[in-house]
Structure 1
Amino acid sequence: MSKIVKLLYIIIGFISLGLGVLGLILPVLPTTPLLLLASYCFVKGSERFEICFKGTTLYKRHLETFVKERSMTLKQKLTILLFADVMIAIPFFILDSLMVRVMLAAVILYKYYYFIYKIKTVRKATTEI
């Protein structure tokens, strides 16, 4: 992978990390998916940043359980699902294309299926900080 592509991953990782941290304060931004994106970008961009990010309490508190056990709390699931629904609803109501609406409805249905049946729900995160 070229240095430019790795640099782009690192930049996107830091932007996602910043937005994820803002999501801790602002209820409008979902923390977990943004931190997952940051983690993915750091893995692709730099081993040093990946190790540094995975050593933070932010990662351990919000992502470690999901990454290791494929589980989330009900609150995490609902936050992600509702935020995604709002984002999908915008083009759903703005656009007049039936094909786009059907596609967006299929995405919503699959998203709920995945979160209900593929990701285990736990009472609270098992990682102690």
Structure 2
Amino acid sequence: MRVILLIIGSISAILGFIGVIMPLLPTTPFLLLAGLCFARSSERFHSWLIRTKPYQAYVEDFRKYRGYTMTRKIELLISVYIVVGFSIYMIDHFYIRLGLCLMLCLQTIVLIFFVKTLPEGDG
């Protein structure tokens, strides 16, 4: 079981790190999964993961407090809107544009209404 958790954790960490560069790929869920897998399989990998900059930037506040400050939520949404907006502008296929718009709407709804908003001093 330990080997399986290491493999899943490694794949999740790689996907999470790629998600830092490619905004359409989610970062936080993959890094949370990697952290969970590494915590149960390898203290060394877990220690390494929680010290990485992407983990600190995207996951630590969410892991500690189960939410983000409104400022952080807005920063996340702006970055996604810029990248996905550029994709919508560049792509000339109606259904892909529609799918990207729906994805943006879902991301906004989840982040605003389902992810806890922390007071500004906490995150």
TM-score, normalization by structure 2? 0.63
Instruction: Name stretches of at least 5 consecutive residues in structure 1 with no aligned partner.
Output: 21-27
8 Å contact from structure 1 (residues 29, 83) kept in 2: no
Q: Aligned residue for 1:90?
A: 86
Whether 2:107 is the aligned partner of 1:111: answer: yes
Q: What one-letter code is carried by the residue in structure 2 that aligns with 1:16?
A: F
- Alignment CA distance shift 1:7-1:114 (3 Å): closer
Q: How far apart are residue 103 of structure 1 and its match?
A: 0.8
Instruction: Name stretches of at least 5 consecutive residues in structure 2 with no aligned partner.
Output: none
Secondary structure of 1:72's aligned partner: strand
8 Å contact from structure 2 (residues 69, 120) kept in 1: yes
Whether 2:47 is the aligned partner of 1:40: answer: no
Q: What one-letter code is carried by the residue in structure 2 that aligns with 1:40?
A: L
Q: Aligned residue for 2:73?
A: 77
Please list, as runs of the form range in 1=range in 2, the aligned pairs for 1:1-129 lying within 5 A after superposition. Answer: 1=4, 5=7, 8-9=10-11, 12=14, 16=17, 34=27, 37-44=30-37, 46-48=41-43, 49-54=45-50, 56=51, 63-124=59-120, 126=122
**1:38-71 deviation per Cα after TM superposition (whole angstroms, max 9, x unaligned):** 44334446532124544x5966786344124421
- Alignment CA distance shift 1:10-1:117 (3 Å): closer
Q: Percent identity?
A: 18
Secondary structure of 2:120's aligned partner: coil
**1:63-104 deviation per Cα after TM superposition (whole angstroms, max 9, x unaligned):** 344124421012211121111112211221111111111111
Q: What one-letter code is carried by the residue in structure 1 that aligns with 2:72?
A: Q
Q: What one-letter code is carried by the residue in structure 2 that aligns with 1:87?
A: V
Tell me how far apart the structure 2 counterparts of residues 107 and 61 of structure 1 sit (CA, whole Å). 23
- Tell me whether 79-88 or 118-127 shows the greater mean CA deviation: 118-127
Tell me how far apart the structure 2 counterparts of residues 122 and 9 of structure 1 sit (CA, whole Å). 30
